[in-house]
Structures are given as structure tokens and as C-alpha cells.
Amino acid sequence: MKRMIPVLALVAAGLFGTALLAADTANDVKWTEDYKAALEQAKKDKKMVLLDFTGSDWCGPCISLHDKVLSSPEFAKWAKERFVLVTLDYPSEKKQTDAVKKQNAELKDKYKIQGYPTVILLNAEEKEVARTLGYGGQVPAEWIATQEKELAKGTAK
């Protein structure tokens, strides 16, 4: 039993270290709720804008997309150098400022959102280059590959 304690300690430390690494990588990307500031930042940094239209506290596919993809290290690596990330949330219970509610309602109309989650990729001039509606449970690599295909189609227009 005494020999097992150091082994268990090493295993636990390894798992904890892996979890910390994943969390640190996933947290390398920052999300904002401020659409106009995101557009300005995208122009300044020569990036695109990723809009995540979500129902963060009631929409099952939205919650799954966030938990499985948008919080993953793979997504963080893919998005960090390419996008300014914007969450446009339409919660049931979560409190929002009146300004955020107004902005999100206007953007829902502007982009003709038909369901959640909807992810829209814009260039810095607000031109939509890709749109994905829904989430089918893809792992991060599959979801990112879908976005890349949509981007390729959108930029070829």
C-alpha cells in the first residue's frame, strides 16, 4: 500500500497538470459582448469576427457547443490568431444590461437569426463570409473543419 501512494500521487499530479494546461490554453481567447468594439478591434488587428448567437442558459445545443468546442484548446488555438470573438446571448434567466439586450435584439434582426446556436463569421467590414446553424455534437476538429469549408466558400464569392 505504501508503494501505491507515490504512484497515485504522480497520476493525480499528471491529471491535474493536464487539466490546468487545457484550461490555460482554452482561456487564451477572450470573448466580448460588445459588437462595435469587436469590429474596431478586428480592423485594428486585421482579424475576422466570430459571432456566437446563443441561448446560454436554456438551449441544449448551445450549451454543448460551448462545452465541447468553444471552450476547447483546439478552438482556442484555431481562433486566437484569426478572430475577435463575440457572444450574443439570449438567456432565459441570466441578467443582462439594457444596452446588451438592445444590441443583441438589433443584431438578431440584422443577421436574420432563425435558431440557436448560430455562428457567423464576418470580415472586418461586416461582410458575412460563413454561417453555421445548429450543433450536431462534432468534436472540435470536425467543427473547425466545417467552419474552414464555409470560410473557403464565403471568401470565394
Separation of alpha carbons 134 and 139, rounded Å: 14
Give percent of the chain with pLDDT exceeding 90: 76
pLDDT tens-digit profile of 41-50? 999 999 999 9
Separation of alpha carbons 104 and 89, rounded Å: 7
pLDDT tens-digit profile of 68-107? 999 999 999 999 999 999 999 999 999 999 999 999 999 9
* Grid coordinates of 92: 432565459
Residue 24: predicted pLDDT: 39
Domain membership of residue 59 as a residue range:
4-156
* Grid coordinates of 34: 460588445
Q: How many domains in the chain?
A: 1
Is pLDDT larger for residue 5 or for residue 110? 110
Helix (H) or strand (E) holding 147: helix 140-156
* CATH assignment at residue 103: 3.40.30.10
